[in-house]
Amino acid sequence: MTIPYSCDTITSPVNPRVRQAAGLREADARRTAGLTLVDGRRELSRAAAAGVTIEEVFVASEHPPADLADWLADLAGRGTRLTPLAERPFAKIAFGSRNEGVVGVVRFAPLSLAQARFVADRPLLVIEGVEKPGNLGAILRTADATGLGVIVCDGRTDPANPAVIRASLGTVFTVPLATTIVAELLPWLRTNDRRVVAATPEGTTPWHASPLAGRTAILLGSEAHGISPRWRQAAAADEIDFTTVSLPMRGAADSLNLSVTAAVLAYEAIRQEEMTA
Amino acid sequence: MTIPYSCDTITSPVNPRVRQAAGLREADARRTAGLTLVDGRRELSRAAAAGVTIEEVFVASEHPPADLADWLADLAGRGTRLTPLAERPFAKIAFGSRNEGVVGVVRFAPLSLAQARFVADRPLLVIEGVEKPGNLGAILRTADATGLGVIVCDGRTDPANPAVIRASLGTVFTVPLATTIVAELLPWLRTNDRRVVAATPEGTTPWHASPLAGRTAILLGSEAHGISPRWRQAAAADEIDFTTVSLPMRGAADSLNLSVTAAVLAYEAIRQEEMTA
């Protein structure tokens, strides 16, 4: 089976369509267009399986992924444009070292708190300061594996960043996920009756001795700065139900990797669920 | 206080000393020289605190880190050569985006199983297939925080890789650590009376229902391929005490991030220790 391309091979790396796609690496361009770039077979498959609209797939025409021909034909049948690119324009939109021959343009933007659909009685991971796309991607993989939702509330990190999508292995499309800011999140937590359990080095309760299952919001600050002061103010003003937990830090370093902390707490929540099930 | 440089500023990026230092990004060059590159203040401080010999520190002479002058003078007093570099040669040896003005050449090579000093009665993390330096770095941070040792046994990954050192935030210098191959590790585990607990998707026991504390070797395979067949052969031949555990994978993806799995199991081991203490 051959790939049913929609047009001839684009050979120029300054072709307007290629430049527009490459521009989706910038957050502003993504927001304006409501589109993002998805690099990789597995990631694109998960987007499609999750019902995300795949507007266009650029295919490396000099090394076409033959085993994907059926799948690409199926996408074309549902309206996806298949565009062959020569090596130089393809390199412009693909991630350098992990080229898998397909890069898609998909309709995807993070949901708001009001739009997202979370499971009411299971924990959420609330990520306040995520410095690296790779960390958010790893957290989304953990959320996928544990069936938890994720709220990103730092006002900066865009889960639609192609580097996040890639690091998440496409789970960003399937995990219940919202982006918000802390001023919106505080009243939402109260309305939704969610207890906040914050992981901080100063936490007095060991992570496994605090109830993490049920209607919790497991809060993680940045590796460098921890959680923002607004949380303790809200706790002091009784705006939220707020407790802290700590993980042992017995060594030379003073912080854990953010995605590691998220995973330890997510799986501890699952353990507690399984113990009481 | 000014920085007591050992020589004039090097301005050429093809200066032989700069090229030699940059060459330490290659594993062969590191092995031959017994040296590696350490980029970053915190990482270099931890190397020094761990008693690692710092042969030379290259300093970005156009943006010298003034707050480090005392520390650099102290190093010079103990024999470290301080070499000022202009922007272009400095860029050649520093990590692009996280330039902190100092890059060191240190005497460091991973220890063998026979050389490493592990705590006898606490778990070890055994990492068989670590694809990315960032993952090994994150695992070393977890090992540092939990006080566990690490054995890298894939025969490929070099913990002295500057990218591992950086991702570990310098904890690679303080965590008990050995590199080996599986053929050497199997008899060592038997001699040292260590039970192997392997994390695999096919594991029948939930991770929290298996004893992880004590004299265990918590075994983690690669994200793509899992543990190598040699382990099950050794188990079948009664060469090792071998059990498997699994972590829930409830979502779209079929694997967790390797450093995430390591952390969940390391902290579960700590939890079990604390429950029986």
Q: Where are the domains of chain B?
A: 16-107, 124-276
Contact of B141 with chain A, judged by CB distance below 8 Å, is answered with: yes
What's the gap in Å between the CA of A68 and the closest CA on chain B? 19
Cα–Cα distance between B224 and B132 in angstroms, integer?
Answer: 12
* Share of residues in chain B with pLDDT > 70 (%): 98
What are the backbone dihedrals phi and psi of residue A157, each rounded to the nearest 5 degrees, phi first? -75, 130
Of A169, A249, A267, the CB nearest to B145: A249
For residue A113, the model assigns a pLDDT of 96
Contact A264, A138 (CB under 8 A): no
| DSSP state for residue B46 in the 8-state scheme | H
Contact A36, A160 (CB under 8 A): yes
Best CA proximity match to A138, nearest among B125, B264, B236: B264
Sort A116 into a burial class: Cβ within 10 Å, 0-12 / 13-18 / 19+.
middle
Query: Cβ separation of B256 and A268 shorter than 8 Å?
Result: no
Average pLDDT (A57-72) is 88
Model confidence, pTM: 0.93
End-to-end CA distance of chain A: 50
Q: What Cα–Cα distance (Å) separates residue B13 from each residue in A213, B85, B87?
A: 56, 9, 9
Higher pLDDT, B23 or B256: B23
Give the model's confidence band at B98: pLDDT under 50 very low, under 70 low, under 90 confident, else very high: low
Contact B108, B138 (CB under 8 A): no
For residue B214, the model assigns a pLDDT of 97
Q: Is it true that domain B16-107 has CATH number 3.30.1330.30?
A: yes
Q: For an interface test with B, give the residue of A260, A271, A275 to mutate (most B CBs within 10 A).
A: A260
For residue A96, the model assigns a pLDDT of 62
What's the gap in Å between the CA of B247 and the closest CA on chain A? 8
What's chain A's average pLDDT? Answer: 93
Examine the pLDDT at A97 and tell me if it is beyond 60.
no
Residue A261: closest CA among chain B residues belongs to which residue? Answer: B263
Examine the pLDDT at B33 and tell me if it is beyond 70.
yes
A208 contact partners, CB below 8 Å, separation of at least 6: A268, A271, B271, B274
State the alpha helices, DSSP H only, in B67-180: 69-77, 87-93, 133-146, 162-167
Query: Cβ separation of B267 and A142 shorter than 8 Å?
Result: no
Buried b or exposed e, range A34-63, using 16+ CB within 10 angstroms: ebbbbbbbebbbbbbebebebebbbbbbee
Examine the pLDDT at B96 and tell me if it is beyond 80.
no
Contact of A236 with chain B, judged by CB distance below 8 Å, is answered with: no
For residue A154, the model assigns a pLDDT of 83
Domain A124-276, CATH among 3.40.1280.10, 3.40.50.1860, 2.40.50.320, 1.10.10.10: 3.40.1280.10
Residue B172: closest CA among chain A residues belongs to which residue? Answer: A252
Residue A267: closest CA among chain B residues belongs to which residue? Answer: B264
Examine the pLDDT at B97 and tell me if it is beyond 60.
no
**Per mean pLDDT, which range of A106-110, A238-242, B77-81, B152-156 is the poorest?**
B152-156
Examine the pLDDT at A1 and tell me if it is beyond 70.
no
* Share of residues in chain A with pLDDT > 70 (%): 99
